[in-house]
Amino acid sequence: MKIRQAGELGLIERISKKIRLDKSVVKGIGDDTAVIKGTGNKYLLFTCDMLIEDVHFKRKQATPFQIGWKAMARNISDIAAMGGVPKYALVSAGLDPRLPVSFVDGIFDGINALAKKFKINIVGGDTSRSNKIVIDISLIGEVEKKGPVLRSGAREGDAIFVTGFLGGSIKGKHLDFTPRLDAARALVKNFKVNSMIDISDGLLLDLWRILEASGRGALLYEDLIPASNKADSFRQAVTAGEDFELLFTMSPKEAERFMRRYSMKLGVPVSLIGEVTSKRCGYRLIGKDWKEDRITGKGYCHF
């Protein structure tokens, strides 16, 4: 069997089975970031994200600044989706020796702009020759011990929310989005969020990940889902990757409190798009015509 046939999820599952973790690991593979007890009064979050030329960006369609920005933003978005704060970054860069140094300056300026904005320390890295540009950033974050919001916490009856507008990111947003860190922190500080993920592979697949991890089903309402005016179609809006919006669930009571008192203060639009159901109710989308579609969770995958 080839990697292409196994797919990204198959590959990760294969690897996960062989791993043994000690008790200091709260969450290993299978969430936005790993969660580690460490020796301190907070949990550590640990995540990495690899950006490869011609897979995640084209050299001619992205400025060096945008390449660096995107590499950093994706990682910060993962920390945000855990309810945490990013703190320390390492930058591995595979670079074509024929590139001008100004190109590297640009990439780094993009990384550094976000580092400054979110007070992240860039503490090291590695450089190597490479024909295709490869930027792999790893990030350590922190979260209060009661804090980390896992994918696995969704409960029956939870309201499902999403920030911003979905789809069409490929037309530009994927290169210059600001990770929803401030909104995520405001959320977890003021409300009990049961589960959260950042939408990197499309709403349908990423919600599927929450449902799988939580052992639940869901009902989504097409009418309520905020498609971007950049999206070509509703289908594209809910399956296209790289939105980097927050998708989260809360108990009905908490959701009511959130909507009444707070949703306007997050600095970002928030939409209620459906509810978590029991697993045997399945994963369904109610269309504008009130017809039901079963969702299988297909989204953007990397192989």
Which residues, 80 to 119, sit near a copy of itself by CB under 8 A? 87-88, 90, 92-101, 103-105, 108-109, 112, 115-116, 119
Nearest to 120 by CA among 81, 75, 150, 82: 75
Nearer to a copy of itself, 67 or 273 (CB): 67
Nearer to a copy of itself, 29 or 264 (CB): 29
Structure tokens at 68: 């660096």
Taking residue 253's Cβ as centre, other Cβ atoms within 10 Å add up to: 11
Stretch that binds a copy of itself, among 1-9, 146-154, 229-237, 264-272 (CB under 8 A): 1-9
CB of 149 to a copy of itself, least distance (A): 16
Are 66 and 74 in contact by the 8 Å Cβ rule? The answer is no
Q: How far apart are CA 96 and CA 57, in angstroms?
A: 15
Map the footprint of a copy of itself across residues 250-289, applying CB under 8 A: none
Nearer to a copy of itself, 256 or 303 (CB): 303
Q: φ and ψ at 203, to 5 degrees?
A: -50, -50
Q: Determine the residue type at 113.
A: A
CB of 175 to a copy of itself, least distance (A): 17
CB of 109 to a copy of itself, least distance (A): 8
Map the footprint of a copy of itself across residues 10-49, applying CB under 8 A: 10-12, 14-15, 18-22, 24-25, 27-29, 33-34, 36, 38-42, 44, 46-49
Q: How far apart are CA 285 and CA 70, in angstroms?
A: 31
Determine if 209 is a binding residue for a copy of itself (CB under 8 A).
no
Q: How far apart are CA 23 and CA 17, in angstroms?
A: 17
CB of 153 to a copy of itself, least distance (A): 18
DSSP assignment of 258-292 equals HHHHTGGGGSS-EEEEEEEEEGGG-EEEE-TTS-E
CB of 31 to a copy of itself, least distance (A): 8
Map the footprint of a copy of itself across residues 118-157, applying CB under 8 A: 119, 121-132, 134, 136, 138, 140, 142
Q: How far apart are CA 210 and CA 154, in angstroms?
A: 7
Number of chain positions touching a copy of itself (CB under 8 A):
80
Nearer to a copy of itself, 44 or 67 (CB): 44
* Start-to-end Cα distance in the chain: 13
